[in-house]
A and B are shown apart, each in its own frame.
Chain A
C-alpha cells in the first residue's frame, strides 16, 4: 500500500515537472513569429513551427526549448545575421531549413551556433549558403545528426567550415552531409568525440580537419574529392576506422595528412585514387591494419621523422608508387602486407613470400629528390634502373622492407 502511495505521489510530482507547453508558430497560428514564441515560452517548452519563410534576424535561444520544424520551415538570415544562437543547455533544434547566414571576417557567423552549453541536439536540418554551418563553441555532450550542409564558397579566406567544433567535449557528429564549405568538419581542441557515418565532399580545403583534438574517433565516414583531403594534426589517441578516402587530387592533397600524431589506429579504411593515400610527418606509435590502398599515386609517404609505425595486413594494389620516404632512417615496420608489385616466390607454400619486398622503388626516391624526373616515368631506362636497384640496393633505404610479404591479397 505504501508503495502505491509513493508511486502516486511520484507520478504527480513528475507530471508537474513535465508540465511543458507546446506552442505552435505559423502564419495561421496565434504566434506569427518565432521571436514572439520565444518570449512566451518557458524552459522545457516545445515550439512547433509550421512551414513558411521566417525572416527573424537572430534567433537567440536562452531557455531550454525544443524547436521542431514541420515540413522544413525556412529560417532566413538575410546574409546579415547569425540564424540560430543556442545559449541554453538541453536545447533541441530539428527539421529546419536554414539559409543565408551573415558573412563576416570579424565574427564567425553560423547557421546554428552553440555557445558554452551542453546536451544540445541539432538534428535533421538543411543548411544552405551559410557562412559557418553548425558551430559549437565550448559545447559538451552535444549531438549533431543527419544535417545536410551545402554551400557554394569559392575562396578559402572568405568561407567558413561546415561543422565547426572549438573547445568542445564529448560531441557526437553523426550522419551529416557537408559540401562546398572550407573544411567539411573542423575540430580544434575537441576531446572524447565521435564522428560517425558522415559524408564530406567537394570542400575547398579539408574534408575533415583535426587540430589539437585527442581521444577522438572517426568511423565509417566518406571523404571524397576535397581540396586537400583530410588532415589530422597535433593530436594523440585518434582512431580512424572504416573510412573512405577517395579522389583527393593535387599537389599537397592527401587521403590523410598526419602531422605530429601519436598513439592512433588506422584500421580497415579504403584509400582510392588519391594523389597520396597517407602522408606522415613526425608521427609515432600508429598501428595500421586492414587498409586497402588502390590506384593512388603514392599509397603512403612516410617521412624519416616518423617512428614506431606498424603497417601490417594491408593491401596495396595498382598504386603508381607504394611508398616514398625522404631519408634513409627507418624506425617503422612494414611486415605482412600484400603488395601487387611483389615479384618474389614462395617455395614452402606458406603464402608468405620467401624474399623481402622493398616498397620504396628507386624511381620514387629519384622523384622525391627531383620531381621533374616524373616525365621519364615508365620509360625503358627507368625500368632498367629500377630492376638494377632491386638486385643491388644503393639509393633506397636498406631497412625499408616487408620481410614477410603475402602472396595473395587479403580479403578486405
Chain B
C-alpha cells in the first residue's frame, strides 16, 4: 500500500496542473493579503477561495486523475493486491497531495498574515474540504464509466454543494419564515459540508453579528465544545461515507 501511495503522490506532484494550483493559491493568497489594508478583509477574500476554488479543484482534478489512471488501476488489479488497498492508496495519494498543495498555497500566507484562531480554523477547514471533495470525486468517478459524464457529474456536484443547496435553503427559510426554524437550519446545514465549513469559520470571524438572537441559536450549538466536536465529526463523515460507498462499488466493478 505504501508503495502505491508513494507512486500516486509522486505522479501527482509532478503533474503541472497541481503545481499551477499551488502557485495560483500562493499568488492569490499573498495578493489578497497585501492588497487589502486590513487582514480581516483579506481573510474574507480567502474564505471565498476556500469555499469555492478548493472544492472545485479538488473534485475536478481528482475525477480526471482517477479516469486517467484507469490503465494504471487495471495494472494494479492484476497484481496480488486487494482492491480495497488499491482504492484507498489512490484516495490517500490524491488527498495527501491536495492537502499539501493547499497548505503550501494558502496555509503559509495565512500563517504569515493571520496566525490567530480564525486563521487556524481556516487552515483546518481548508484541509478537511480538500479531503472531502477528493472522496466525493472518487465516488462520482467510480459510479460512471464514461469520462465526460463523470467529470460532468463532478462539476454538477460542486455546483450543487456551493450554490444550489444554499438556494434551496434560502427558499426554505423564506417559505417557513413564520415558524421557529433555527434548529432545523442547524440540522439542514449538516447535509452540506460547505455550509458547515462556512458556519464554523463564521463563528470565528463574525462573532459580534452572530451574538444576535438567531445567531445565538447557532452559536449555542456550533460554538460549544460538543457542537464543535459534532461538526468536525460530520465533516469527517463526509469523507468516510463517500469513500466507503466508492470502495463498495469499486470492489465489484467490472473494469
Known contacts A250-B216, A340-B41; is A379 also within 8 Å of B198 by CB? yes
Interface 0/1 of B186-197, CB less than 8 Å to A = 100100001100
Which A residues, 369 to 398, have Cβ-Cβ distances below 8 Å to chain B? 369-383
Known contacts A372-B185, A380-B51; is A251 also within 8 Å of B213 by CB? yes
CB < 8 Å neighbour of B169 from A298, A320, A376, A378: A376
Provide the residues of chain A in CB contact with B170, threshold 8 Å.
Answer: 373, 376, 381-382
CB < 8 Å neighbour of A382 from B37, B166, B199, B213: B166
Interface 0/1 of A271-308, CB less than 8 Å to B = 00111100000000000000000011110000000000
Provide the residues of chain A in CB contact with B189, threshold 8 Å.
Answer: 375
- Quote the shortest CB–CB distance from A339 to chain B (angstroms): 12
Q: State A44–B208 Cα separation when bound (angstroms).
A: 54
A375 pairs with B209, CB closer than 8 A: no
B195 pairs with A379, CB closer than 8 A: yes
- Quote the shortest CB–CB distance from A142 to chain B (angstroms): 37
Q: Is A150 an interface residue (CB 8 A)?
A: no
B213 pairs with A371, CB closer than 8 A: yes
Provide the residues of chain B in CB contact with A318, threshold 8 Å.
Answer: 38, 40-41
Provide the residues of chain B in CB contact with A320, threshold 8 Å.
Answer: 206, 208-209
Provide the residues of chain A in CB contact with B166, threshold 8 Å.
Answer: 376, 379-382
Provide the residues of chain B in CB contact with A38, threshold 8 Å.
Answer: none
B38 pairs with A340, CB closer than 8 A: yes
Q: State A249–B210 Cα separation when bound (angstroms).
A: 9
Provide the residues of chain B in CB contact with A370, threshold 8 Å.
Answer: 173-174, 177
Provide the residues of chain A in CB contact with B218, threshold 8 Å.
Answer: 374-375
Q: Is A244 an interface residue (CB 8 A)?
A: no
Interface size, chain B (Cβ < 8 Å): 40
B40 — nearest CB in chain A belongs to which residue? A318
Q: State A236–B207 Cα separation when bound (angstroms).
A: 34
B contacts with A: majority SS: helix
B167 pairs with A381, CB closer than 8 A: yes
Which B residues, 143 to 174, have Cβ-Cβ distances below 8 Å to chain A? 162-163, 166-167, 169-170, 173-174
- Quote the shortest CB–CB distance from A321 to chain B (angstroms): 7
Of A296, A371, A378, A379, most B-chain CB atoms within 10 Å: A379
Q: State A297–B198 Cα separation when bound (angstroms).
A: 17
Q: State A276–B215 Cα separation when bound (angstroms).
A: 13
A369 — nearest CB in chain B belongs to which residue? B177
Q: Is B47 an interface residue (CB 8 A)?
A: yes
A380 pairs with B163, CB closer than 8 A: yes
Known contacts A251-B212, A318-B38, A321-B209; is A380 also within 8 Å of B185 by CB? no
CB < 8 Å neighbour of A275 from B163, B185, B199, B211: B211
B202 pairs with A378, CB closer than 8 A: yes
Interface 0/1 of A21-56, CB less than 8 Å to B = 000000000000000000000000000000000000
Provide the residues of chain A in CB contact with B163, threshold 8 Å.
Answer: 380-381
Q: State A346–B163 Cα separation when bound (angstroms).
A: 34
Say which size band chain A's interface belongs to: 20 to 34
B214 pairs with A372, CB closer than 8 A: yes
B169 pairs with A297, CB closer than 8 A: no
Provide the residues of chain B in CB contact with A93, threshold 8 Å.
Answer: none
- Quote the shortest CB–CB distance from A335 to chain B (angstroms): 22
Provide the residues of chain A in CB contact with B48, threshold 8 Å.
Answer: 380, 383
Q: Is A121 an interface residue (CB 8 A)?
A: no
- Quote the shortest CB–CB distance from B135 to chain A (angstroms): 21
Known contacts A318-B40, A381-B167; is A250 also within 8 Å of B202 by CB? no
- Quote the shortest CB–CB distance from B128 to chain A (angstroms): 17
A275 pairs with B212, CB closer than 8 A: yes
Which A residues, 351 to 375, have Cβ-Cβ distances below 8 Å to chain B? 369-375
Provide the residues of chain A in CB contact with B162, threshold 8 Å.
Answer: 379-380
- Quote the shortest CB–CB distance from A377 to chain B (angstroms): 6
B192 — nearest CB in chain A belongs to which residue? A379
B185 pairs with A375, CB closer than 8 A: yes
- Quote the shortest CB–CB distance from B253 to chain A (angstroms): 34
Provide the residues of chain B in CB contact with A321, threshold 8 Å.
Answer: 209
Provide the residues of chain A in CB contact with B207, threshold 8 Å.
Answer: 273
Given contacts A275-B209, A379-B194, A382-B166, 20 further A-B contacts (CB under 8 A): A249-B208, A250-B212, A252-B213, A296-B208, A318-B40, A320-B208, A340-B41, A370-B177, A371-B214, A372-B182, A373-B174, A374-B209, A374-B218, A375-B169, A375-B173, A375-B186, A375-B195, A377-B206, A378-B206, A380-B162
Nearest first, the 5 A-B pairs at minimum CB distance are A297-B209, A251-B213, A320-B209, A297-B208, A371-B214
Using CB atoms and an 8 Å cutoff, list the residues of chain A in contact with chain B.
Answer: 249-253, 273-276, 295-298, 317-321, 340, 369-383
Using CB atoms and an 8 Å cutoff, list the residues of chain B in contact with chain A.
Answer: 37-38, 40-41, 44, 47-48, 51-52, 162-163, 166-167, 169-170, 173-174, 177, 181-182, 185-186, 189, 194-195, 198-199, 202, 206-216, 218
User: Can you report 13 A-B residue pairs in the complex whose CB atoms are below 8 A from each other?
Assistant: A251-B213, A273-B208, A276-B212, A295-B40, A297-B211, A297-B212, A320-B209, A371-B213, A372-B185, A376-B170, A378-B202, A379-B166, A379-B198
